[in-house]
Amino acid sequence: MRLDRFLAHSGFGTRSEVKRLIKEGFVKVNGEEAKSPNLKIDESRDIVQVGEEIVRLQKWVYIMMNKPRGYVCSNNDPFSPTVFSLIPETLKYRNLHTVGRLDKDAEGLLIITNNGEYTHRVISPRKHIEKEYIVRLERELCEEKIKVFEDGIVLDDGYKTLPAKYTIIDDFTVSLTIHEGKYHQIKRMFESIGNKVVYLKRIRIGKLRLDENLKPGKYKVLDELEAFLVFE
């Protein structure tokens, strides 16, 4: 990997900022001052320093995003902006993907990573990881009808959902916790009891909660301890 790319991917700024660090003599490779941003390095063996700091490329990347409405969870889409357009180039090279999906018109907690095993564990219904959503409805909520969610409900394609939990917030708003992520599942669950979802926001996966300071479209990089809260 080129030295400037390695440093940019490690969070030391844009390519131009990194090149300035190298030009001004702040960067060493194996104890020797680096002379060129084009220098090829082996990131698993060479020792790169910026000042006194030894730089190591993190193998796995975990990003928390507050997904805004209007964006899709695809890497590429010819018709709609994708969540990856909100991520800087310095992170995109890591072969990132979303951990499950949120509908285009949904918002809230989205995890983006390059760790496929982590993703499989999070989205597998067998792991029974809770996903909590705030749901606003078109019609006034009927508690007698929503109680059927507690035992699982049969959707329009014959699939029976796992038992869900709910807390009524007001006449039109409910907190719903499920353990799966079937296509348009929550919308279909409410359609099955004669109601329509007009607003959907995911606020929690496992014990990992959406950071309230993250505005829609913003993100932050998680450390492993934070990312693995989803399994607690």
C-alpha angle with apex 1: 64 to 98, nearest 5 degrees?
20
What is the set of active-site residues? 103
β-bridge partners, 218: none
CA dihedral 142, 148, 152, 154 (to 10 degrees): -80
SS3 (DSSP) at 200: strand
Tell me the Ramachandran region of residue 206: left when phi exceeds 0, alpha when psi lies from -120 to 50, beta otherwise.
left
Q: Quote the longest CA-to-CA distance of the chain.
A: 72
